[in-house]
Structures are given as structure tokens and as C-alpha cells.
């Protein structure tokens, strides 16, 4: 099967449905990709799309959406509670089935060149930066406004290296490569904003909290709610339930309570499995026992076996197979196995 890559573009637009639809439609218009999920938030003034597909398809879809963002989003009039430096603010590439981190880094760097050709400078982060591990917080410090008059001496874009200013309306884009992470918000009530901000600060890795956790305490004016907005870099290493318990304890000590947990984008198994095991007291729970996981694995293995049989049949039939049929079979094999039938078999 061809390697699968995920991209999770974050756009600085969460209030104009027409623009959000245009962004999603631009992605859906590219062959070889699927939009798994998208969501918008007016208080964050942000939309997040999860895209899955071939490496080439995901790269093309990312650039297609970037063009729409460049045309329709103007950061000069943008205000939201979420940090941002670009119209297409953040673009991470995530290796999935059959793909490696090197593949994700290569995609990030190719797409960065495409964005630079549009006039949008790029900062690399995560595994795509040199050296790897650059964080988003340092790149978005002060937001678009901190970059508008020129790049600070300690923050120069990676592509193009000689850029002196961000794009006038689209700012810059942070393009990275990373593993699957958990983006989530925990809503609380019965406490004030300062308490929520303090709880978020204490949770963060940089303040001695959970490893790989970034957290902000936010007030959502339109919703009239308070939330702890978080990214957990490795939900397999740090149990998300431990984070939730810490929030519950801290909020409870102040007379408040947790009311809801919201996941942005796809829900990783590392969140659901421990929660089910903990709350239901399940024994012997593992991904191999999930029906969806086993069905997917069965289908992949069966497709591989059928592909080998198809290739053998094509080779045996030789010139008796019409060219159109052989070309269609070649494309199918390329999708399933990441290869094509040799030209000698035509």
C-alpha cells in the first residue's frame, strides 16, 4: 500500500463559513486525499482540517488551501484568543501507515518552497527544523503583530532565508513534521479566568508540569465559557487521563468543576483506550482487540495477497491484456503496494 501521510493545516479563520468552505473544498478537490475532519471556532477565530492521503496528494492539497488562505484571510483585521502568525498559521505533516518521519520532513520542506513562491515566508518546526525540535511557542511569541514591521534578530524565516518581512496580509506559516499528538480543550466552570490561567501555567512542561504539554487558559467571549486549551505532544508517553485528573483536582480545590472535554481533529487511540480501561475496569485491552483495528489489518493483508495474484496474472497474460486494462491495473497496484507494473509487461 502506498505510504499514507497526514496534514493538519490550521487556518486563522473561524467566523466566515464561506471562507472555511472554500478552504475545505480546495483540499477535497485534489485527487488522492480525503478530509477526515474539520472544525471551526469563532472565539479562537481558527479552523483546523485533518487531511489524509498520498504524499504527493497531501502536498498538493496543502498548497491549494494555502492559495485560498492567501486570497481570503487578512491578518491585519484578525483577532482571536489563539496565538497566530499566519493566515495558514500552522501546517504539520505526520507520517502514518508506510510513511516515515523522513517522508514527512521532505514534504514539509517541499511545501515550504511552494509557500515561499507565493510570497509567504516559512518557519520550520518540530522534526522539520534544523536542528530538530524547534517549538511553536517561540515562533508565535507576540503573534503576527510582533513580525509585521520586520523579523526580530532571533527569528529569521527558514524559507526564503533573505526575507525581511512577512507577507502583508498572510503573515508567515509554520511548517513542521511531527508524530500524532492530542489537541484538546477542557472546559471548566465555577472559577475565574485568572485561576484557569494559573492552572494552565502549572500544567505546562516549561513550568515543570507534564512533559510535552502546552496549555493556555482562555475565556471564550462568544460562548461565555472558560477553557484550558492544550496540545499533548506524545499521548502514548503521557496519559491524558493524568492531565484531566490534575485539572479536576486544581479546579475542584477552587470550588469549580470540569464540564466537558473537546478533541480537535481525530481522536487518537491513546486517549480512548486508557479512558475506557480506567472507567470500565477492562482487562486485557489493547489495539489488537479493537474490531476496527483488526478489520483494517485484515483488509490490508488481503489486498496485498490479491495484488500479488493480480500482478502474476498480468505477467502471465502478457500482450493478451488490453493496454487500458493493464494501465488501470498498474494504477491500482501502485495504490495498494506503492509500486507499478514494469513497463516490460506492457
pLDDT tens track for 33-59: 999 999 999 999 999 999 999 999 999
Which tens digits make up the pLDDT trace of 268-319?
777 777 776 666 656 666 666 666 666 677 666 777 777 777 778 878 888 7
Q: What's the pTM value of the predicted model, to 2 decimals?
A: 0.82
What the block records as the C-alpha cell of 221 is 467571549
Q: Which sequence spans correspond to the domains of the chain?
A: 5-177, 182-285, 291-339
Q: Tell me the catalytic residues.
A: 82
CATH of span 5-177: 3.30.990.10
Q: What is the pLDDT of residue 293?
A: 64
Q: What is the pLDDT of residue 280?
A: 60
Asked if residue 94 lies in contact with residue 180, where contact means CB atoms within 8 angstroms, the answer is yes
Q: What is the pLDDT of residue 32?
A: 86
Q: What is the mean pLDDT of the chain?
A: 89
How does 145-170 read in b/e, with b if 16+ C-beta sit within 10 Å?
Answer: eebeeebeeebebbbeeebeebbebb
Q: What is the pLDDT of residue 214?
A: 94
Q: What is the pLDDT of residue 265?
A: 87
Burial class of residue 194 (count of CB atoms within 10 Å of its CB; 0-12, 13-18, 19+): exposed
Q: What is the H or E stretch that residue 215 is in? A: strand 213-220
Q: Which residues of the chain have pLDDT under 70?
A: 1, 276-295, 298-300, 334-346
**Phi/psi class of residue 133: alpha, beta or left (left: φ > 0; alpha: ψ in -120 to 50)?**
left
Cis peptide leading into residue 333 (ω within 30°):
no
Q: Which CATH architecture does the domain made up of 182-285 adopt?
A: 2-Layer Sandwich (3.30)
Q: What is the pLDDT of residue 229?
A: 96
Amino acid at each position: 500500500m502506498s505510504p499514507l501521510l497526514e496534514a493538519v493545516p490550521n487556518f486563522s479563520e473561524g467566523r466566515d463559513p464561506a471562507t472555511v468552505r472554500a478552504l475545505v473544498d480546495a483540499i477535497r478537490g485534489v485527487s488522492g486525499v480525503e478530509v477526515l475532519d474539520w472544525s471551526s471556532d469563532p472565539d479562537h477565530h481558527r479552523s483546523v482540517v485533518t487531511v489524509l492521503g498520498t504524499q504527493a496528494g497531501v502536498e498538493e492539497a496543502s498548497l491549494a488551501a494555502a492559495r485560498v488562505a492567501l486570497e481570503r484571510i487578512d491578518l491585519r483585521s484578525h483577532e482571536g484568543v489563539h496565538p497566530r502568525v499566519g493566515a495558514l498559521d500552522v501546517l504539520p505533516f505526520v507520517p502514518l501507515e508506510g510513511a516515515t518521519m523522513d517522508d514527512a520532513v521532505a514534504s514539509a520542506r517541499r511545501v515550504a518552497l511552494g509557500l515561499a513562491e507565493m510570497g509567504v515566508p516559512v518557519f520550520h518546526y518540530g522534526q522539520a527544523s534544523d536542528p530538530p525540535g524547534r517549538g511553536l511557542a517561540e515562533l508565535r511569541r507576540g503573534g503576527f503583530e510582533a513580525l509585521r514591521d520586520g523579523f526580530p534578530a532571533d527569528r529569521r524565516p527558514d524559507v526564503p532565508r533573505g526575507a525581511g518581512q512577512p507577507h502583508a496580509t498572510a503573515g508567515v506559516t509554520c511548517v513542521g513534521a511531527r508524530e500524532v499528538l492530542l489537541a484538546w480543550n477542557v472546559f471548566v466552570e465555577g472559577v475565574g479566568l485568572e485561576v484557569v490561567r494559573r492552572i494552565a501555567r502549572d500544567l505546562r512542561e516549561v513550568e515543570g508540569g507534564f512533559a510535552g504539554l502546552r496549555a493556555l487558559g482562555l475565556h471564550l467571549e462568544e460562548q461565555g465559557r472558560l477553557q484550558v486549551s492544550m496540545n499533548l505532544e506524545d499521548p502514548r508517553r503521557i496519559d491524558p487521563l493524568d492531565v484531566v485528573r490534575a485539572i479536576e483536582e486544581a479546579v475542584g480545590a477552587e470550588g469549580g468543576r470540569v464540564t466537558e472535554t473537546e478533541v480537535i481533529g481525530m481522536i487518537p487511540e491513546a486517549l480512548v483506550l486508557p479512558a475506557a480501561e480506567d472507567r470500565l475496569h477492562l482487562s486485557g485491552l489493547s489495539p489488537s482487540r479493537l474490531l476496527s483495528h483488526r478489520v483494517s489489518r485484515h483488509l490490508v493483508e488481503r489486498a496485498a495477497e490479491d495484488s500479488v495474484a493480480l500482478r502474476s496474472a498480468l505477467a502471465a497474460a502478457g500482450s493478451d491484456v488490453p493496454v487500458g486494462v493493464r494501465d488501470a491495473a498498474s494504477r491500482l497496484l501502485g495504490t495498494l503496494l506503492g509500486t507499478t507494473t514494469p513497463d516490460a509487461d506492457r
